[in-house]
Structure 1
Amino acid sequence: MEDLEREYHKILADYVKEQSERTLYIGQNFVRQLIRRNISPEDVVSLHKDAVETIYPAQFDELRLAYDFLIEMMVHYGMAMREHQSLLQKQAEIQMEMNIAANVQKTMLKTPIPSDMTIDIGMLSKPLKNVNGDYVHFIDDKKYISVAVTDVVGKGVPAALCMSMVKFGLESMEEYAHDPEHVLGVLNRIVERNVDDSMFISMFYGCYLREWGLFYYASAGHEPAFLYRAEENKFYDLEAKGMLLGIVPTTKYKRSEVLLEDGDIIVIVTDGVTEFRRDDTVDERQVVASLIHDVKGLPAQSICEYLYSELEEMQEFELKDDFSVVVIKKV
């Protein structure tokens, strides 16, 4: 430390005498030396205090208390800075882990959108943050197409783990995929046994019977789907009462059905699509229905993308929840 003191005294004395750019440059190089030797901010101030006292001994008594105060401030500053840097490092590590989790989730939960001559299907799912708390799952069979739209009340990695469990549960029941009541009943028991009480899962499960154009469905506490009847030019809610998954293991789910005609549209959403109220005068579902009506002639995927862009703009590009929508259009 003595060598640093001597060097700093000389640099400061030269600068007071010459006030030259050359001395400032030497000082900058000296700072790098301090950093390499891990000299704390309070030690730098103490170094400067000693140098000033040496150069201006007569005037220094008036400055002594001010320098002592500054040294104390730098002690606390150094502690706060180290704590801040530690928190930033931890935050960066957490963000890296979340990015990895999000990429794994995208790969693991990816589901192909079925195609059919009689219906046009579109799907869009956008997470609020890295990890998605919504999940859409399709099952494509020769006789039917099934779709599950799921929303976990909870976010982050725990929600992602729940979604993984739901996915594997759905895949294990593909032979029963045409039976909404059975699928929801089994998932309800799985969730009740394996998910913490603080997390809840809603699901809308529907099945389209290709030959008859029949869509039948059941719901576990999920947002009602929209049904647009082309002949009437009118919207209906596909209401289906059922308790959230995992609340009561013996819950029974009831099936409902609608026959789709040409031009009819079913739109299944999570509550991130319909919950954007700014005041009590706004009927969110009416707003969404109006947006669907505006583009009802477009392909199903285009309707999904239009809904997202319009609702995102309405919320000033700050969505409040994960956003998922499935559009099934009879053609």
Structure 2
Amino acid sequence: MHKIKADGQAYKKLLQQYLESNNKSYLDEAKQMSISFVSRNIYPEEIVRIHMKAIDSLYGEVFNEYRQSLEFLLESLIAYRVAHEEYEKLKLEQFELRSEIQVAANMQKTLLATEIPKIEGLDIGAISVPLHQMNGDYYHFITAEDGALGVAIADVIGKGVPAALSMSMIKYAMDSFYEEAMTPSGILRNLNRVVERNVASNMFITMFYGQYFPNSSVFRFASAGHEPGFLFRAKDKSFIEFDAKGLVLGVLKHTHYTQYEIKIETGDMIVLLTDGVTECRRGDRFINREEVIEVIEKYAHLPAQKHVERVYMHFNQLDDFQLKDDFTLIIMKKTV
């Protein structure tokens, strides 16, 4: 209290000197006084109170209307300070949340990392671009002891940290399965049980799982409600949609997934994707599957990794292009 009284007296003296002399040098002293107020956590509304007391002491009730205007300013400043403190608190919380999400995103990349295998006679490319920091898409390659290649592509219906945790669970569940159970239908059946038991009832996962056998050039596959991929037939330059039906993972405990197989010829191309590829927007319209196919075919002469990157770049460079979901694309080309 003594310090505030002393501040009031010093302020009153400085204000009186300025008003009587109109000497601008006193403004510099006022700035220095304000700096000292800041260092001692004296808020703007307290300065207004000091100013009001100084005016009352110097001029009494002569400036009554002016005093009312200061009371109005005082209430405004009090409300401003409260709102400003809440705003700064919110900014700090948002910063901490962004930092935590970034840490989680980096951990997700580490946990879900998968290397593109080298399979003789097969050129493989993959790209996954998250809409936000956390990726709700997932792809994974598995090479069996007999040389068969397993490829999984999945999409969580739901985003953020819960989706990332779900994908981590899927990845480690797959790693724990016996190789004998790694058929497309077996993988999906087993994962369905894992998801049904461990994932919230409002979160589902779509997945396409395929197996390529280099010795026989056969591709086996099954789908759990996932976006249909394509097979490009080099012989007649046509795209065939993978016609595989199946319930998304986690809906029913006992679900059967039908397995299909198809022969892959030299020059053929397997295209797997998530709905983020076919639900991109350009302005106010969706980029449809036919356009996606055209772009994939346009860059088919490129090596597989450059191919998937160029497809994404093509769309990303369009005017008014908007990702509406995570964008994941895998292309596998039979070269011999």
Same fold? TM cut 0.5:
yes
Aligned partner (choices 161, 166, 173) of residue 162 of structure 1: 166
**In the alignment, does 2:84 pair up with 1:81?**
yes
Q: Name the structure 1 match of 2:230.
A: 226
SS of 2:232 mapped into structure 1: strand
Q: Name the structure 2 match of 1:128.
A: 131
Whole-Å separation in 2 of the counterparts to 1:199 and 1:11: 67
| 1:186-223 Cα deviation digits (max 9, x unpaired) | 00011001111111100010111011111111000100
Whole-Å separation in 2 of the counterparts to 1:315 and 1:105: 31
Kindly report which structure 2 residues correspond to 1:49-88, keeping only aligned pairs within 5 A, or say none.
49-57=52-60, 59-88=62-91
Q: Would the alpha carbon gap of residues 49 and 116 (structure 1) be closer, same or farther in structure 2, given more than 3 Å must change? A: same
Whole-Å separation in 2 of the counterparts to 1:153 and 1:94: 22
Kindly report which structure 2 residues correspond to 1:281-292, keeping only aligned pairs within 5 A, or say none.
284-292=288-296
Whole-Å separation in 2 of the counterparts to 1:178 and 1:58: 90
**In the alignment, does 2:221 pair up with 1:237?**
no
Q: Is the deviation greater in 24-33 or in 84-93? A: 24-33
Whole-Å separation in 2 of the counterparts to 1:312 and 1:305: 10
| 1:260-317 Cα deviation digits (max 9, x unpaired) | 1121111111111110256998661101100001000101111111121122233735
Q: Name the structure 2 match of 1:211.
A: 215
* TM-score where L is the length of structure 2: 0.92
Preserved CA contact (<8 Å) 1:176 1:182: no
Shift of 1:258: 1.7
Preserved CA contact (<8 Å) 2:282 2:322: no
Q: Name the structure 2 match of 1:175.
A: 179
**In the alignment, does 2:312 pair up with 1:308?**
yes
Q: Name the structure 1 match of 2:276.
A: 272
Q: Name the structure 1 match of 2:44.
A: 41
| 1:123-144 Cα deviation digits (max 9, x unpaired) | 1111111111111111022421
Whole-Å separation in 1 of the counterparts to 2:76 and 2:56: 20
**In the alignment, does 2:255 pair up with 1:263?**
no
Whole-Å separation in 2 of the counterparts to 1:280 and 1:6: 65
SS of 1:261 mapped into structure 2: coil
Shift of 1:257: 1.5
**In the alignment, does 2:201 pair up with 1:194?**
no
Unpaired runs of 5+ residues, structure 1, are none
Aligned length: 330
**What is the letter of the counterpart of residue 204 of structure 1?**
F
Q: What percent of counterpart residues are identical?
A: 42
Q: Would the alpha carbon gap of residues 245 and 52 (structure 1) be closer, same or farther in structure 2, given more than 3 Å must change? A: same
Kindly report which structure 2 residues correspond to 1:10-21, keeping only aligned pairs within 5 A, or say none.
10-16=13-19, 17-20=21-24
Kindly report which structure 2 residues correspond to 1:67-146, keeping only aligned pairs within 5 A, or say none.
67-141=70-144, 142-146=146-150
Whole-Å separation in 2 of the counterparts to 1:28 and 1:239: 76
Whole-Å separation in 2 of the counterparts to 1:278 and 1:315: 7
Q: Is the deviation greater in 249-258 or in 305-314? A: 305-314
**What is the letter of the counterpart of residue 191 of structure 2?**
L
Whole-Å separation in 1 of the counterparts to 2:263 and 2:204: 31
SS of 1:205 mapped into structure 2: strand
CA RMSD of aligned residues (A): 2.0
SS of 2:31 mapped into structure 1: helix
Aligned partner (choices 32, 35, 46) of residue 32 of structure 1: 35
Preserved CA contact (<8 Å) 1:206 1:218: yes
SS of 2:155 mapped into structure 1: strand
Q: Is the deviation greater in 148-157 or in 43-52? A: 43-52
Shift of 1:70: 1.1
**What is the letter of the counterpart of residue 81 of structure 2?**
G
* TM-score where L is the length of structure 1: 0.94
Preserved CA contact (<8 Å) 1:276 1:320: yes
Q: Would the alpha carbon gap of residues 279 and 239 (structure 1) be closer, same or farther in structure 2, given more than 3 Å must change? A: farther
Preserved CA contact (<8 Å) 1:148 1:204: yes
SS of 1:63 mapped into structure 2: helix
| 1:213-267 Cα deviation digits (max 9, x unpaired) | 1111100010001211111111111121000000011110011122111211111
SS of 2:219 mapped into structure 1: strand
Whole-Å separation in 1 of the counterparts to 2:58 and 2:276: 68
Q: Would the alpha carbon gap of residues 255 and 74 (structure 1) be closer, same or farther in structure 2, given more than 3 Å must change? A: same
Shift of 1:55: 4.6
